[in-house]
Amino acid sequence: MSFEPDIGITDYLSLLEMLSNAICDGGKKPLPVPDHVFIVEKHVLHNVKVADDKNTCEIAGMCKLDSGEFLLADYGNSKIKVLNNNYQVISTCDVPDYLCDICTTGEREAAVTVIKDSERRYEILFFSFHSGTLLKTRSIKLEHKCAGLAHHSGNIYVTNATALYVYDMAGGQGRKLYSDETGQFTVFMCSVSPDGSRIYITDNTHDQLVTLDKDGTKLSTLTHPELKDPSELHVTTHGHLFVSCPALGTVVQVIEKNGGQTVTTLAGQDMLTTPRALCYNSSNNSIVFGQCENNNIVELQLKH
């Protein structure tokens, strides 16, 4: 008896593969790989000034809660502003200090670095968001100046412009991971890769991006003509790295591929003025930017 293949099995297996893909990605387009280069489709402005703001907004930091709300650290008005997913201000919390940066520390929790000018003290304040209200829960007093802030797996990373420190969530004694005393803003802002293996730092003094390992050992230094006056930076949950450059009025994407790094400009002065804080919105594949002395934040809608 001769063997005759069942040619119908090919169609059946193909159907199973399509069903598997639909289940895995929910019918959505697959997420970009870490070295994917994004392209801006259009930009939209959203006004975040509220009635009792006394000054022009100055968004020093921005993050997104797991529950979908955005938190803005408005340095110009000493407020934390809560935005819904349509970028409308739904709540505010007065913080009578100078706000430096903000990051999420839990599903509905965030931390902010502040300078108490009258006392020249530096702290990390923790807040929780419930029932539409942002409430302060506790604080960690710092023995050094503060600027940038990031969180990963129970560790809080704080920059003071020339050094990087790490604290646990309980506020135990901070440990210096890295320092560079060759300028005033050599360790400016920081962000951590999704797996915690790399820490990214903007060196504003030397126009560089510094990459450290989790123990603070320098892995690389990136210098590029488009990486001028680097300020805030943001790493998405899938490893895409974006940096704002206020002096050029641009935001760049740093692409890591084949063991190296390169830079491409994502948006320029036709869309931005002086971009500063930034955050990726995975809900609609866009990057949101706060700007220096500007009441509008900018949403850059990206092509898939």
In a domain, 160, yes or no: yes
Identify any residues that bridge with 149 across adjacent strands, giving them in sequence order: 158
Domain region containing 250:
30-302
- Domain-located, residue 11: no
The pTM (predicted TM-score) of the whole model is: 0.87
Examine the pLDDT at 10 and tell me if it is beyond 60.
no
Q: Is residue 51 in a domain?
A: yes
* Residue 175, helix vs strand vs coil: strand
Does 15 have pLDDT greater than 60? no
Which tens digits make up the pLDDT trace of 156-167?
Answer: 999 999 999 999
The answer to whether residue 174 is domain-embedded is: yes
pLDDT band at 5 (very low <50, low <70, confident <90, very high): very low
Cα–Cα distance measured from residue 58 to residue 36, given in angstroms and rounded to the nearest whole number: 31
Q: Would 2 be classed as within a structural domain?
A: no
Express each pLDDT in 208-217 by its tens digit.
999 999 999 9
The tokens for 145 are 């100046």
Q: Which residue has the tokens 């100078």?
A: 98
Inside any domain, residue 265: yes
- In a domain, residue 38? The reply is yes
Confidence of residue 16 (pLDDT cuts 50, 70, 90): very low
As a whole number of angstroms, the distance between CA 153 and CA 77 comes to 31
Tokens representing 247?
């002096």
* CA 200 distance to own-chain centroid: 11
Counted domains in the chain: 1
State the virtual CA torsion across 89, 91, 96, 97 in degrees, nearest 10: -60
pLDDT mean over 58-76: 95
Give the pLDDT score at 29: 53
* Residue 231 placed within a domain: yes
Q: How confident is the model at residue 96 (pLDDT cuts 50, 70, 90)?
A: confident
Rounded Cα distance between 73 and 148, Å, is 12
Would you state the pLDDT for residue 59?
96
What CATH number did the domain enclosing 210 receive? Answer: 2.120.10.30
d(CA 254, CA 239): 10
241: buried, middle or exposed (CB in 10 Å: 19+, 13-18, 0-12)?
buried
